[in-house]
Amino acid sequence: MTISGSMDVFTPAPAAKAAHAAKDFEGLLLEQILKTANTDEDNPAIGFGEDQLAMALAASGGIGLAKTVEAGLSSSRQASASVASS
């Protein structure tokens, strides 16, 4: 491997960043929904379980929100690129 002064080898592609951000967003949204439904706020184990469940749901496709957010980020990035090249 040759390093030619650029760190692009170590930087994730914009599409990968968008996918990761979309899944994280969906996970946080699901976490908030689960916390709202929780009536036992004194048990920290339940809170940890909610966090893990939300992230697992988002990682496995969740409610489909991550795909929609990712598509929006992708189209926004493409529009910015076309404006910049004009």
pTM here? Answer: 0.62
User: Which residues neighbour 79 within 8 Å (Cβ) at sequence distance 6 or greater?
Assistant: none
Sign of the CA dihedral running 5, 9, 15, 19: negative
Q: pLDDT per residue over 29-71, tens digit each?
A: 888 888 887 766 677 788 888 888 888 888 888 888 888 888 8
Q: What is the DSSP letter of 12?
A: P
